[in-house]
Structure 1
Amino acid sequence: MNEIPFFGRPAAFALRVRQASAALYEQMDQCLQAHGLTLPAYATSLVQTLYHGGPQSVSALAERLGLSHQLASQRLRWLVKEGLVVIDDDPEDRRRRLVSLTSAGQTEGDKLQAFLPRLERAYSDLFNEIGMDLHTGMVDARAALLARPLLTRMQTETGMQAPQRSAG
């Protein structure tokens, strides 16, 4: 079968990031289970944020983690269903709803604190093996993309103008 053009080159970077992300989440789920946690990998950042930051609104959590409100809500629904968080009206602002850990969520957060240093060492081992610190690279890449998006980079490099939308 013929190689698909650009799949082996930097043009497929987003695909490679998605593939690496899928492998990381799948393997992290296995690690979490092996260490007695019930959390799926995708929910660890929410629990970690609530564990250290206390009750917060869904909007605040989404913003802090760089998630859409819809995605944060979807992940929180799982945590509610599992009894790890509750969502209540904010006593100071009835328009807002606050998310907080339950006692089971606090226990899961305690386990997560013991797990994270081991995960960090595993990532350090990976980064040493491949000869690059992907964590710092991804943090820097996101900041650079936010400062100067791909479209701007393409326009700058080629002198290309942004496509005009028809008024029709």
Structure 2
Amino acid sequence: MSDTNFVDSHRLSAAFVANQLERLVEVIVTQGNDMLDAAGIRFPSRTVSTVLFVGENAPTSTADIARALGQPHQLATQRVDLLTQLGIFERISDPDDARRKLLRLTPEGRDQFKVLTGRLEKAGQAFETLFAEIGCDLPAVSRRAADALHESSLLTRMKAI
């Protein structure tokens, strides 16, 4: 990354992989917001997976979103509230449970969803060229690393050295 900092060149830099990955995430989020803005999409990139899920699974609940995306319920609630305020989602009564509210796209949300899916196709292609350029299937490597750490924690690995 061009935004190097103290830990990037430090002899202990391998211990700061989370720092480096967080900075990569911020670059992707910022550029994702730019991509969405250029397409006239009014919601932030960090909410894209929520919009995609509701667009493909409506009507659905906030709990369903949190479970499907592997997010804490509080985070899913914050994103749903924002998307509702922006007029992308609307709450409707659950016909099977009067106490429960379900979510679906508004008419504007459906329009934004159509644009979004086209942009995601192009973004996926752009990322594929990036992965070829850097010689790494980053999502696959990321999943393998997470799986390996779930299998054997960092602390377990340190004790084995």
Q: Determine if the TM-score, normalized by the shorter chain, exceeds 0.5.
A: yes
1:39-83: CA deviation from partner (whole Å, max 9, x where unpaired) = 210111011111112221111101111111111111111100011
Deviation at 1:8, TM superposition (A): 5.8
1:14-33 counterparts in 2 under 5 A?
14-33=18-37
Q: Quote the Cα distance in structure 2 between the aligned partners of 1:47 and 1:84.
A: 8
Q: Quote the Cα distance in structure 2 between the aligned partners of 1:146 and 1:96.
A: 34
1:105/1:124 CA distance change after superposition, 3 Å: same
1:94/1:143 CA distance change after superposition, 3 Å: farther
Q: Which moved more, 1:142-151 or 1:66-75?
A: 142-151
User: Contact conserved, 1:32 with 1:38, CA < 8 A, in 2?
Assistant: yes
Q: Residue 152 in 1 paired to residue 153 in 2? A: no
1:8/1:124 CA distance change after superposition, 3 Å: farther
What percent of counterpart residues are identical? 32
Q: Which moved more, 1:35-44 or 1:24-33?
A: 35-44
Correspondence for 2:52: 48
- Structure 1 stretches of 5 or more lacking a match? 159-168
Q: Quote the Cα distance in structure 2 between the aligned partners of 1:116 and 1:28.
A: 10
User: Contact conserved, 1:6 with 1:12, CA < 8 A, in 2?
Assistant: no
Match of 2:103 among 86, 99, 105: 99
Query: TM-score, normalising length from structure 1?
Result: 0.83
Q: Quote the Cα distance in structure 1 between the aligned partners of 2:63 and 2:27.
A: 28
Structure label with greater radius of gyration? 1
Query: TM-score, normalising length from structure 2?
Result: 0.86
- Would you identify which runs of 4 or more consecutive aligned residues in structure 1 move more than 4 Å? 3-8
Q: Quote the Cα distance in structure 2 between the aligned partners of 1:7 and 1:63.
A: 39
User: Contact conserved, 1:86 with 1:102, CA < 8 A, in 2?
Assistant: yes
Correspondence for 1:69: 73
